[in-house]
Amino acid sequence: MSKSGDAQILCPHCQTRGRVVTKRVKVKRGISGGKATGAVLTVGLSVLATGLSRKEAATIATCGNCRVTWTI
């Protein structure tokens, strides 16, 4: 997590600027087409090992004033 607030980010909840800290994370989003195809070809066995969702990079922002967290 970044140590100081980013002066450019505005909290959508309390409208405070400069108190928002960010962190890069990987989040699960949607269904991967390649994994869905693999599941069909292996009669579902690959789903047990890998799951169907894909992971994408995202940024989590947290307001230091009101403690609201959101994804950018």
Number of neighbouring beta carbons within 10 Å of residue 24: 11
| Count of structural domains within the chain | 1
Residue 49 lies in a domain: yes
| Statement: the pTM of the whole predicted model exceeds 0.85 | no
- Quick check: is 6 in a domain? no
If one compares 34 and 62, the residue with the highest pLDDT of the two is: 62
Percent of the chain residues past pLDDT 90, beyond the cut: 32
50 part of a folded domain? yes
pLDDT for the residue numbered 1? 45
With contact defined as beta carbons under 8 Å apart, do 71 and 27 qualify? yes
Predicted local confidence at residue 2, as pLDDT: 46
Strand (E) or helix (H) holding 36:
helix 33-41
What are phi and psi for residue 71, nearest 5 degrees?
-100, 135
Question: In this predicted model, what pLDDT tens digit does every residue of 27-60 receive, in sequence order?
Answer: 766 666 666 666 666 655 555 555 555 678 889 9
